[in-house]
Amino acid sequence: MPDAAALVTNIQKYSIHDGPGIRSTVFLKGCPLGCLWCHNPENRSYHVQLTRKPEKCIGCLSCLAACPSGALAAGDSAPLRDEARCTGCGACAEACPALAIERLGRRMTAAEAFAEVLRDAPFYGAEGGVTLSGGEPLSFPDFTLELLRLARREHIHTCVDTCGCVPWENMERAAEICELFLYDIKHLDSREHIKYTGADNALILENLRRLARITKSIWLRVPVVPGINDAPEHVRRIGELAGELGLSRVHLLPYHAIARGKYAALGLEYALPDVPEPPSAQMEGLCDILTQLGLDARTGG
């Protein structure tokens, strides 16, 4: 669908950890999962959001003047927002000179997003290209498929980063075009998966099995969160699953806490209990487990 549109939060250039080579990663807004450690919380909601950084506010009240819904009122340090009245139009963010309010999510057609991706074509070289990420790109199949098609037409390598929690049909359609999937596996235990992501993993694992029958160009990606999914035995089971499906490459992504600030700016609670970042020795140990299974295992994207 040529005019398929989606909410894009960012098109990240010089992205070197979302697939091979230098890539541009298109982040789509909206995700069926709610992983407690999510480091892109701005891409969870399917709606435009406004972040607030009151420490940047200079009290010029430009936002009040700009708001067409009367949703803002002067406050002690920064203007207060009446969420019921706010329509998320972003006029306040547009008006704020101090970048104390920023709008997250811009509705773009696939063609518009691709024009941005195409600008960096000279950098992609033999390996790089475009990655769709999010959020969950396969929750927006029309946009995603159209962008993949446009990229293929220009001989730009294509990659989709998915959580797998999508209707099989969406994934099947993407598999016809997309050259590489980055497929996230959070937990193999259903109850644990529900506890930490808010959703069952049955569909995710089923989709993975079906996808692996169509293509082997899949890199499994496992966020390693201490105390939650970092048991050597659990990692071994993921490795065995990969072997069983004929997939050779697994990436272990160490949990990091740098996204905490984003939660505050979004007014969200950071619900993950205090977990440490996994030390590199632990990551190496987990990697070794996978290597011994004959897999191409790596730490990081």
Partner 1 sequence: MEKVCGMNERVRKLRRQSLDTPPTLSIERALLMTEAYQKYQGKVSVPRLRALAFKHLMENKTVVINDGELIVGERGPVPQAAPTYPELCCHTLEDFDVIDKREKISFAVSDETRDVQRDVIIPYWQGKSIRDLIFDQMTPLWKDCYEAGIFTEFMEQRSPGHTVCDDKIYRCGMLDFKRDIAEAIAAIDPARDADAYDRREELAAMDIVCDALIAFAERYAALAEELAEAEPDERRRAELRKIAEVCRYVPAHAPRDFHEALQMYFFVHLGVITELNTWDSFCPGHLDQHLDPFYRKGLEDGTLTRESAMELLECFWIKFNNQPAPPKVGITLKESATYTDFCNINIGGIRPDGSDGVTEMSYLLLDVIRDMRLLQPSTNVQVSRKNPDRFVLAAAEVIREGMGFPSVFNCDMVVEELLRQGKSIVDARCGGTSGCVEVGAFGKEAYILTGYFNMVKVLEITLHGGTDPETGKKIGADTPPAAELRSMEELLAAFRTQIEHFIDVDIAGNNIIEMLYARYMPAPFLSVVTDDCIKNGRDYNNGGARYNSRYIQFVGLGSITDCLSALSLHVFENKTFTLEELNKILSANFEGYEKERLTLLNKTPKYGNDDDRADRFIQDTFEIIYNAVNGRPTPTGGTYRIEMLPTTCHVYFGSVIGATPDGRRAHDTLSEGISPVQGADRRGPTAVIRSAAKIDQVRTGGTLLNQKFSPSVLAGERGLGALKDLIRAYFKLDGHHIQFNVVSADTLRDAQRRPEKYGDLIVRVAGYSDYFNNLTPELQNEIISRTEQEEF
Nearer to partner 1, 98 or 177 (CB): 98
Q: What is the DSSP letter of 32?
A: S
User: Residue 20 or residue 285: which is nearer to partner 1 going by CB?
Assistant: 20
Answer whether 79's CB lies under 8 Å from 57's CB. Answer: yes
Residue 113 Cβ vs partner 1, minimum distance, rounded to whole Å = 15
Counting contacts by CB under 8 A, is residue 21 touching partner 1?
yes
Q: Where are the alpha helices (DSSP H) in 137-177?
A: 141-153, 168-175
Binding segment toward partner 1, per CB under 8 A, in 44-52, 114-122, 193-201, 272-280: 114-122
Is 119 an interacting residue with respect to partner 1 (CB under 8 A)?
yes
Is residue 300 close enough to count as binding partner 1 by CB under 8 A? yes
> Is there binding between residue 122 and partner 1 (CB under 8 A)?
yes
Segment interacting with partner 1, rule: CB under 8 A, options 69-77, 93-101, 140-148, 266-274: 93-101
In 3D space, the residue among 272, 119, 149, 298 whose CA is nearest the CA of residue 219 turns out to be: 298
CA nearest neighbour of 265 among 89, 74, 78, 95: 78
Which range in 1-9, 95-103, 183-191, 224-232 contacts partner 1 by CB under 8 A?
A: 95-103
Residue 282 within binding range of partner 1, rule CB under 8 A:
no
Interface with partner 1 (CB under 8 A), residue total 24
3-state secondary structure of 134: coil
Residue ranges with strand state E in the chain: 5-15, 23-28, 49-52, 72-73, 80-81, 101-104, 106-109, 129-133, 157-162, 180-184, 218-224, 249-254, 296-299
d(CA 85, CA 87): 6
Torsion angle of alpha carbons 32, 36, 37, 42, nearest 10°? 50
Of positions 34, 125, 246, 261, contacts partner 1 by CB under 8 A: 125
Told to check if 294 binds partner 1 by CB under 8 A, we report no
Among 1, 3, 16, 276, binds partner 1 (CB under 8 A): 16
Under the binding rule (CB under 8 A), the answer on residue 54 touching partner 1 is no
- For residue 49, give the 3-state DSSP assignment: strand
Query: CA distances (Å), 188 to each of 201, 225, 253, in order?
Result: 7, 14, 16
Q: Which of 30, 41, 105, 128 binds partner 1 (CB under 8 A)?
A: 128
Instruction: Pick the piece of the chain touching partner 1 (CB under 8 A) from 8-16, 79-87, 186-194, 234-242.
Output: 8-16
Q: What's the CA gap between 45 and 30, in Å, rounded?
A: 5
Q: Which stretch binds partner 1 (CB under 8 A): 37-45, 97-105, 145-153, 232-240?
A: 97-105
**99 binds partner 1 per the rule CB under 8 A:** yes
Least spacing, CB of residue 98 vs partner 1, in Å:
5
- In the bound state with partner 1, the residue whose beta carbon lies nearer, of 127 and 244, is 127
How far is residue 247's CA from residue 239's CA, in Å, rounded to a whole number? 9
**Footprint on this chain of partner 1 (rule: CB under 8 A):** 12-18, 21-22, 25, 58, 60, 62, 97-99, 119-120, 122-123, 125, 127-128, 300
